[in-house]
């Protein structure tokens, strides 16, 4: 198994690059943002609870997202590997992920961390908000709250994987294809074929 975390602030290109990476490497894409939005569309109890946090630019409680990831991993026993997109977003989530993978005699092989400046992030998300229908992309103050949540709670997750030398930082500004090529180079330098 080859497991990747695609890491970075909101709007850094995680969703965009994930689509390309899962195609190229036949990985299972686990995006907690997408899973939560599905719950919202289906108006489940979990979705209605999560929406309150998401609309305010806050992280959804750890117990909710860890439970979702646990069931997604268990329902894909024959996976080649997973691409985690938008997860883990807290140190508690990263510890839970390490344990879940260890139960399957697996681990995180690489964390690819996209680096993008704050004003560029805000511009991209406001732009997406014009057409995406995503309520968390419309108001600049909500986008700023998401970036603050990222700095306070999510950025420390990189430290957790830096200790085990799994983090590679990639410039996330510029052409989508150029960024994709940089990500692929790093994966191929480490992938056991
Ligand atoms: P996510 O769905 O993960 O949302 P995101 O971080 O905004 O998306 P992403 O980073 O993938 O977007 P992308 O850059 O690809 O999370 C949404 C919310 O769900 C969170 O705020 C939180 O409330 C909750 N949540 C999710 N996971 C959670 C967890 N684990 N724990 C707790 N809560 C959780 O795209 C942005 C825009 O940039 C697009 O329009 C794209 O076209 C554009 N773009 C991409 N690359 C570009 C480039 N190179 N140049 C120009 N534009 C580019």
* 84 CB within 6 A, ligand 1: no
Q: Which residue has the tokens 């409680």?
A: 61
C-alpha of residue 50 to centroid of ligand 1, in Å: 16
pLDDT in tens, 93-137: 999 999 999 998 999 999 999 999 999 999 999 999 999 989 999
What is the Cα–Cα distance from 170 to 186, expressed in whole angstroms?
A: 9
Closest C-alpha among 5, 28, 182 to residue 107: 5
The model's pTM is: 0.94
pLDDT in tens, 81-103: 999 999 999 999 999 999 999 99
pLDDT in tens, 39-82: 999 999 999 999 999 999 999 999 999 999 999 999 999 999 99
Over the chain, what is the mean pLDDT?
A: 96
Is residue 32 within 8 Å of 86, Cβ to Cβ?
yes
Which of 37, 51, 124, 146 is the catalytic position?
A: 146
Is 134 one of the catalytic residues? yes
Structure tokens given for 174? 């510029």
């Amino acid at each position: 198994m080859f497991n990747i975390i695609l890491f970075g602030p909101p709007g850094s290109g995680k969703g965009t690059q994930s689509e390309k990476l899962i195609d190229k490497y036949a990985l299972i894409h686990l995006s907690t943002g997408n899973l939560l939005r599905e719950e919202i569309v289906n108006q489940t109890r979990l979705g209605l609870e999560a929406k309150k946090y998401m609309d305010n630019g806050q992280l959804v409680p750890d117990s909710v997202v860890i439970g979702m990831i646990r069931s997604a991993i268990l329902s894909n026993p024959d996976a080649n590997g997973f691409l985690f997109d938008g997860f883990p977003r807290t140190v508690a989530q990263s510890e839970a992920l390490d344990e879940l993978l260890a139960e399957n005699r697996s681990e995180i092989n690489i964390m690819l961390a996209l680096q993008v400046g704050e004003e560029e992030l805000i511009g991209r998300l406001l732009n997406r908000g014009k057409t995406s229908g995503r309520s968390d992309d419309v108001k600049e103050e909500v986008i700023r709250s998401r970036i603050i949540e990222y700095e306070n709670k999510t950025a420390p997750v990189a430290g957790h994987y830096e200790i085990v030398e799994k983090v590679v930082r990639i410039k996330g500004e510029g052409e989508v294809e150029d960024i994709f090529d940089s990500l692929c180079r790093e994966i191929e330098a480490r992938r056991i074929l």
